[in-house]
Structure 1
Amino acid sequence: MNTKILFEDLGNKDYKETWDYQEQLFKNILDTKIKNRREETHLETKNHFLFVEHPHVYTLGKSGDFSNLLISEESLASIGATFYKINRGGDITYHGPGQIVGYPILDLENFFTDIHKYLRLLEEMVILTLAEYGLNAERSKGETGVWLDVGTPFARKICALGVRASRWVTMHGFAFNVNSDLGYFDHMIPCGIKGKSVTSLNVELGKTKVSEEEVKEKLLKHFANLFNAQLVSA
């Protein structure tokens, strides 16, 4: 069992280019697992964790409803955004500047074989990070992600999750609003959930801008602790 995770911060990178890169890392792990099974070898599978910031983009999960995108595809160019239908779970999500997107591409057989636990630990990583900023974030029953003021009329989502897994290998991940332009969420029904709003860390703290590097450091610390993993630069 390899609990070492290769970490890369890709900076600002096109969504499709990043998706293709994820797919290649994902395939490499699957190929190793298939080879081990067929040839009865014991090659070590790699684990990866990517941070990235995307230009404005809307993505729709495989079970999502296209009507949750409230702007026509033709009008997307006018707001500098693109759209992709992709192979993760979940409905519609927005990515853009000021948002920390994390893609763990893990062989869960190196850690534990439980997708539910995997999602809850990703949420816990964000909840613990927000606690360091004095915010009491929570889960909302039946709604994946991290929320504030759950059970009140002011419930709002600060982090969305959507993953894909095959043979216990994961891809896609989470999108954490840190300094996001929340106006872009007006062009969609977030995660297909009507009547719920979204927020960003800088808004909650009443700041113009929060240090994204500081947030990343906190996320990585909690991720490594929760997964009992060692993060190393790729």
Structure 2
Amino acid sequence: MNKKVKLQDLGQKDYKDTWDFQEELFSGIVSQKIQKRETPSIETDNYFLFVEHPHVYTLGKSGDMSNLLLSEKQLEAKGATFYKINRGGDITYHGPGQIVGYPILDLENFFTDIHKYLRLLEEAIILTLAEYGIESERSQGETGVWLGVGTPFARKICAMGVRASRWVTMHGFALNVNADLGYFDNIIPCGIKGKAVTSLHVELGRKIDEEEVKQKIVKHFANLFEAEMI
């Protein structure tokens, strides 16, 4: 079992180009798994990508188009793009000031349990936010990381949506750090009405060092998954 995870920071990169890159890495791991049947000594790769996307809305395979509140012309006017994609979940927004993480893992190197995988991703974010004095939690039946669950001020700070096939994962999480939350007004985030979104900089009242946040996420991810980041 290969617990080494290749960490790459792609900087700011177009959503479709990043999606294509994810698919390339995903397909490579699946090919390795097929070869491994014949040659058990072959190790399968694992990756963890950080990226920041230009303004984009993405809709998961079970999502509802009515949760996008903009026309094609309005999207163009806002300098945003839209993609219907192959992850779970509904609609979300990605943009500058948001840390997006895409773990592309062969879960057979770690554990074969998608529920556990999602809970550990959430835990990595919860532990990261705790380092900034922010108490966050899960909301029952709603994947992601939230603040103020059970109060009238429930708000999501990190969205998650993944795809897994043959125990290989792709897509991941999007943590609002210094993001312009106004872009969320153009959707019903994750298809959940009546709940707000927030970010680290709104909660703390100051601009946050995104590189520092990434380092904390990597530290907690490595500990939780017992992984070696390379």
Normalising by structure 2, we get a TM-score of 0.99
Question: Aligned letter for 1:16?
Answer: K
Per-residue CA distance 1:55-111 (angstroms, 9 max, x = gap): 000000000000000011221010010000000000001000000000000000000
Q: Secondary structure of 1:28's partner?
A: helix
Aligned with 2:57: secondary structure?
strand
Using the TM superposition, give the Cα deviation of residue 117 of structure 1 relative to its aligned residue in structure 2, in angstroms. 0.3
In structure 1, what is the equivalent of residue 150 of structure 2?
151
Letter in structure 2 aligned against 1:19? W
**Corresponding residue of 1:141:** 140
Q: Give the equivalent residue in structure 2 for 1:2.
A: 2
Matches of 2:23 and 2:107, distance apart in 1? 16
Letter in 2 for 1:28: G
| Equivalent residues in 2 for 1:62-211, closer than 5 Å | 62-207=61-206, 209-211=207-209
SS in structure 2 at match of 1:122 = helix
Is the CA contact (8 Å cut-off) linking 2:59 and 2:91 kept in structure 1?
yes
- Runs of at least 5 residues in structure 2 that lack an aligned partner in the other structure: none
In the alignment, the residues of structure 2 paired with residue 40 and residue 46 of structure 1 have an alpha-carbon distance, to the nearest angstrom, of 15
CA RMSD of aligned residues (A): 0.7
SS of 1:180 mapped into structure 2: coil
Letter in 1 for 2:42: L
The answer as to 2:212 corresponding to 1:214 is yes
Q: C-alpha displacement at 1:7, in angstroms?
A: 0.4
Distance 2:46 2:70 in 1: 37
- Aligned position for 1:42: 41
Instruction: State the match for 2:225 in structure 1.
Output: 227
Separation in 1, partners of 2:19, 2:175: 18
Task: Give CA deviations for 1:177-200 in whole Å, capped at 9, x if unaligned.
Answer: 000100000000000000010000
- 8 Å Cα contact 2:36-2:43 kept in structure 1: no
The one-letter code matched in structure 1 to 2:211 is: E
- Partner of 1:204, secondary structure, is helix
> How many residue pairs end up in the alignment?
230
1:24-79 deviations in Å (ceiling 9; x for gaps) = 00000001111222x25431000000000000000000000000000112210100
Q: Quick one: distance in 1 between partners of 2:181 and 2:56? A: 13
After TM superposition, the score normalised by the length of structure 1 is 0.97
Moved over 4 A (4+): none
